[in-house]
Amino acid sequence: MSMKYHPLPRTTLEISEIAFGAWPIAGMTTPGIIDAESLAAIRACFEAGINHLDTAYMYGACGESEKLIAQALGNRRGEMVIATKGGLHWGPDQEMVYDARPQTLRRECEESLRRLQTDRVELYYLHAPDPNTPVAESAGEIKRLMDEGKTLSAGASNMTVAELEEFARECPLAAYQPPYNMLQRQIEADTLPWCRAQGVAVLVYWPFLKGLLAGKMRRDRTFENDSRRKYPQYQGEELEKNLALIENLRAIAAETGHSVAQLVLRWTLQQPGVTCTLCGARRPDQVRENAGGSGWELTAEQLARIEKLLAARGAPAVRSL
């Protein structure tokens, strides 16, 4: 099967519908990260047909994710569409700080470019709205960065429709990045139809909901030393319902000749308005499996069966961040 590509609006670029999410290689929440494996995972994207890498200023205590991307790409940087983000960073106590003032975005963008060893990125996101800075001010600075050639296009992540509209009034908006998966479908009611109407690409993260929907979790898995223990989808009856859903999906996946993870990615990409799904990976085998979510289609009958399973599972309890 071959990778599919879709236009990145307001550019002449095309991006693979499966992208490499570079959060896991940052080493912030995944123990035992090995740089050699991370570098091999990034380089595996070339063979897998993945040409879109998604990172951020705050992916790592000191920008480890961006630095690893630069090291892995070397003289092949021009073959990749790189996205990074600004407006979030880690405070002194490792708390998340929202700061999207124009001067902060400029400083973070320029530092990201140095880490990535490049003079521009193809896509620069406002990582999240800053409650103390109007979205219009943040968007205006990203527009100035575009005008200076430091990014070819602009994106916004984790926003409401009203915030997207405010951003788009100040800066041409190419892409929106929200969380979205089988159990987290809120965007279907608001931001996803808005993006479809406005011609904005939707690149979704958390397709596996932090690994839950990847189909590899055992029932006896415990989360004592795992940040996921704070999420309701990993607790008690909710976890049991989710694991039962995975077992039901496994039968449909077997019919298609694909893994549960690939089925989940395919379902995600066949939802109207979804352009691309960002898949975290830290080993080459994970990259290869993720790439297998492209190049084939679920039938209408299979999609309908999946919807019945999701309806039977009931409204899930999820935590966003």
Contact 275, 207 (CB under 8 A): no
pLDDT reported for residue 106: 98
* Structural tokens at position 109: 């963008």
Dihedral over Cα of 183, 41, 321, 56: its sign: negative
Active site residue 59: yes
* Structural tokens at position 14: 């095309």
pLDDT reported for residue 233: 80
Average pLDDT over every residue of 20-46: 93
Cβ burial, residue 38 (10 Å; 0-12/13-18/19+): buried
Q: Where do runs of H (alpha helix) occur along 32-91?
A: 35-48, 64-73
DSSP 167: H
Q: Which amino acid is residue 254, in one-letter code?
A: A
pLDDT reported for residue 29: 80
Alpha-carbon distance 279 to 84, whole Å?
15
pLDDT reported for residue 236: 84
Alpha-carbon distance 52 to 81, whole Å?
5
* Structural tokens at position 169: 């009034």
Name the active-site residue from 5, 57, 59, 231.
59
Alpha-carbon distance 282 to 20, whole Å?
10
pLDDT reported for residue 216: 86
Q: Is 112 helix (H, G, I), strand (E, B) or coil?
A: helix
Instruction: Quickly state the pLDDT bin for 308 (edges 50, 70, 90).
Output: very high
Reference 15, options 177, 148, 191; nearest CA is 177
pLDDT at 304 over 80: yes
DSSP 66-120: HHHHHHHHGGGGGG-EEEEEESEEE-TTS-EEE---HHHHHHHHHHHHHHHTSS-
β-strands 18-21, 52-54 pairing: parallel
**pLDDT tens-digit map of 105-131:** 999 999 999 999 999 999 999 999 999
Alpha-carbon distance 250 to 128, whole Å?
35
Q: Is 15 helix (H, G, I), strand (E, B) or coil?
A: strand
Contact 50, 287 (CB under 8 A): yes
Q: Is 291 helix (H, G, I), strand (E, B) or coil?
A: helix
Name the superfamily (CATH) of residues 5-213+261-296: NADP-dependent oxidoreductase domain (3.20.20.100)
Round the average pLDDT of the chain to a whole number and report it: 94
